[in-house]
Structure 1
């Protein structure tokens, strides 16, 4: 009997330990197939408790890029020239705005390129003087379109307007819905204007947003949410948000501990759902793994057991812990995508 009890005790202890860590292993295996690259072990429990996720504008509900939404020449037959000269000049510039405009045309022969701080860029494209920047700087009337409006001047004459806006992810609304379905409140933070930020939030189904919020103020926002009793995750790819991520309970992307393939809000929803599966799976696996052990103990105490039966019950406890934990984790990922 003593040997049987030792076998059962060892099996139950091993099953308890297996139930604690095996769901994390399964989550790591399965998660990599869904873009969850690295999650520190303690972060799973934190992620399972997240009730608010702060989403930086770049890369979460947008692709992280800008795009030209409107090409508006002053004369209809100048459409090709507007795209060509503006795009060719912006190939020489840096920044998201420049890259967005550069994508509307191939490169040209640019000389005398100069960036004018606070105004725009200028130079010669195929020996034609070109300026791209604030409409007032190039002698054009200001406009109030959504996004960033730039004017284009060719040969010292106004050519037309370009409007550049966020490149919103096609599945942004569905991704935000997945977060809210989990009971998680998304909060959008942006360095853009109030009008543009509110439009982006509404387009994605986000009710709460904070426009024109500097990096140093984002940490305070996280602290305020925590003071309201929320467990807060902060998702960003920007190094400037390191302080806010340090304050947050869970940092996703950037300098945070959790690394994803990208910061798509849908991927964040999968992460949080999987984390809940890890915690639930660990809890359930530890409980159900005791059932075979208790059955084996009862048989031994009644004199109906043997070392062989005890070993079978111990193995059954280990298998139960592994299978139950794995099923709960996989099921949590499947549910998060429905």
Structure 2
């Protein structure tokens, strides 16, 4: 978030929002404050605010609280975390369902009604309407206080009015007769009718949707939490003599401190190597599979892993200034800047709810003036009930539930409505190379001996040296040799030369394995006789002072990579290969993939900028990645797709995760299926919304003219909900175009 010298930024946690309309209300109120620019994200329950120095954080939080919501700055612990909120909603739903089921069964089945059954129903309904329905009542009262109305208003009115009318009929009317039996009627006006089941069913239906939303919102911040777990917890700091060590928490590190990084440890923070040489596994931050060699003077990045020797590092950046912290901020900014999923139900409710209340009051007044008070109350209650947007509220969650369930069956995990809305418009698919299109595992591509040298002998001598090394390239050579034969020759006098290679004595002969520079320094002539093959990593092998050949090592394509890009082109999508590798290393991969556009040598921060530039040019972009370096780009893209073998933060920052495995590897054809299933689910959502709205438009006039009783209104409302659910269930018949079901 860019701020001027006189402008500050803060992120507030907002609690109490129940719909997108709440987020919009808070955002509008904050933006009316002088110099304040706010963006409120309902999904993450956060407000991202730029404010002048003259406006304090306290003023911002008080403004939010005055609207009926709670607001806390990040420095203060939340009173209740997302998991606890979800658990509370779950228990509230269980309690509501336990009371609602017997109430509905007794009220709708005359044959099961016994003396005083209505009193039992009243007792069971009371905690459902009062306790389980409390979130709706609280939101409705808060909205009334601020002269606004949402879906909560109708839910609360429908539940409370039906409950109070039933209590009045029970205590002061004929409905309290022990022998009263209630049959279904299609017309209002029977004074002994009670509507306890209506209030209970309303609360339970809506609590189901809210519980699912609470669970989803808790996961919204997982990307940032995953980033936080990558960094080291403590570090060994050395004194001025470079020897005395003491372990301190990483948070206590200061710029200029010197610390030790032993083999297998994480680098505590960004710094410069002062002593030692090693290989650093940077895959956690860059996604690249080959560790980089470091020596004195080389820069290292926090959260990367030392896979070689002991290093002495001087800290150059700490805390919020580190590369990892910068990536975390990029993810946060990208998430807050995403287009909000427009909740059509809430948008309609903003106008629809007040209109329905007016219609209900008009219905009551009209029938009362006509001399039919019983019909007046029944018809007014029927209007409130039949207009209650249960189907409207279920239209999106049920389609998402079925769509995501079907996605799990075919190996595609869809996170929510934002993915569905974006998938329909996707025209460009950007794919990270290493770890996404490729396996991320080094393997020997070819063994190229000079004339007169046996290929197997070259590979086995090299492997005999490399079996004592820890480098991934060494592991690839040893594995290739093991496939040729079970035993390797013994090697003596092994020595690793960090950044260059290794040497050892094999069968009485010194063998050199590594970069061309190492062989040249050892006096071996004609080292460059074998050029790099197809951009692969080249390992030179020499013994007896002569160059004996090269071994090429590469990170292979996933088995389904070529087919996946062909399918994407068949859908009219434009594939783009994005990588931190050099253009020379990326070119052969692009050739094998059918020649997609290549954007190479891109740093983690620049990947997000590339996505942003593509979107600014008018493209709707899907990003497919796997590493931490992809997280910001995944969050920035219109649709983020992560492979399940990648870093947790990449998966958490994405909208879609590919789970399907084929031929022992992640099936990239899942990208095609992800887009197809997302589009199919969005089509179902739109159909659901259409029928839910059509139901209300048709049913409200019937209820207002006294043609529908509250009982029939409740049945009609249930039928509309069943229609929406049934339409959503059709998604289980969706068939993947990119492959079979997950094995």
Report the TM range for the smaller structure's normalisation: 0.7 to 0.9
Separation in 2, partners of 1:309, 1:110: 87
Counterpart of 1:270 in structure 2 is 673
Corresponding residue to 2:478 among 102, 112, 132: 102
1:274-313 matches, within 5 Å, as 274-290=677-693, 309-313=712-716
Which aligned segments of 4 or more residues in structure 1 are displaced greater than 6 angstroms? 301-304
Larger Rg, first or second structure (1 or 2): 2
Counterpart of 1:151 in structure 2 is 540
Corresponding residue to 2:610 among 215, 218, 221: 221
Deviates more, 1:35-44 or 1:207-216: 35-44
Alpha-carbon deviation of 1:86?
Answer: 2.1
Change (3 A) 1:38 1:292: closer
Separation in 2, partners of 1:228, 1:150: 42
1:89-168 matches, within 5 Å, as 89-106=465-482, 108=488, 109-125=490-506, 128-135=509-516, 137-138=518-519, 139=524, 140=527, 141-146=529-534, 147-168=536-557
Counterpart of 2:560 in structure 1 is 171
Instruction: Verify the 8 A CA contact 2:402 2:731 in the aligned structure 1.
Output: no
Scaled by the length of structure 2, what TM-score is found? 0.40
Instruction: Verify the 8 A CA contact 1:186 1:206 in the aligned structure 2.
Output: no
- Asked whether 1:317 is paired with 2:706, we answer no
Number of residue pairs the alignment of both structures matches: 335
Corresponding residue to 1:8 among 377, 386, 395: 386
Tell me the SS of whatever aligns to 2:718: helix
* Higher relative contact order (CA closer than 8 Å, sequence separation 6+): 1
Change (3 A) 1:242 1:20: closer
Counterpart of 1:62 in structure 2 is 438
Separation in 2, partners of 1:99, 1:231: 41
Alpha-carbon deviation of 1:90?
Answer: 3.1
Scaled by the length of structure 1, what TM-score is found? 0.82
Separation in 2, partners of 1:178, 1:204: 12
For residues 147-171 of structure 1, give each alpha carbon's deviation from its aligned partner in whole angstroms, at most 9, with x where no partner exists. Answer: 2222212454433221223412232
Tell me the SS of whatever aligns to 1:103: helix
Instruction: Verify the 8 A CA contact 1:54 1:187 in the aligned structure 2.
Output: yes
Separation in 2, partners of 1:35, 1:166: 24
Structure 2, gaps ≥5 residues long: 1-187, 189-378, 661-665
Structure 1, gaps ≥5 residues long: none
Tell me the SS of whatever aligns to 1:198: helix
Counterpart of 2:397 in structure 1 is 21
- State the superposition RMSD in angstroms: 3.4
Deviates more, 1:226-235 or 1:306-315: 306-315
Counterpart of 1:87 in structure 2 is 463
For residues 142-201 of structure 1, give each alpha carbon's deviation from its aligned partner in whole angstroms, at most 9, with x where no partner exists. Answer: 414212222212454433221223412232222112323344322102233424422211
Change (3 A) 1:69 1:216: same
Separation in 1, partners of 2:601, 2:694: 56
For residues 47-83 of structure 1, give each alpha carbon's deviation from its aligned partner in whole angstroms, at most 9, with x where no partner exists. Answer: 4443323211113222222332212223566222222
Instruction: Verify the 8 A CA contact 1:60 1:264 in the aligned structure 2.
Output: no
Alpha-carbon deviation of 1:226?
Answer: 1.8
Separation in 1, partners of 2:469, 2:641: 30
Alpha-carbon deviation of 1:126?
Answer: 6.3
For residues 13-41 of structure 1, give each alpha carbon's deviation from its aligned partner in whole angstroms, at most 9, with x where no partner exists. Answer: 11111111112212322222333346255
Alpha-carbon deviation of 1:132?
Answer: 1.7
- Asked whether 1:31 is paired with 2:407, we answer yes
Change (3 A) 1:218 1:145: same
Change (3 A) 1:161 1:218: same
Separation in 2, partners of 1:48, 1:61: 23
Separation in 2, partners of 1:136, 1:232: 43
Change (3 A) 1:226 1:79: same
Tell me the SS of whatever aligns to 1:164: strand
Alpha-carbon deviation of 1:303?
Answer: 7.0
Tell me the SS of whatever aligns to 1:50: coil
Separation in 2, partners of 1:14, 1:223: 38
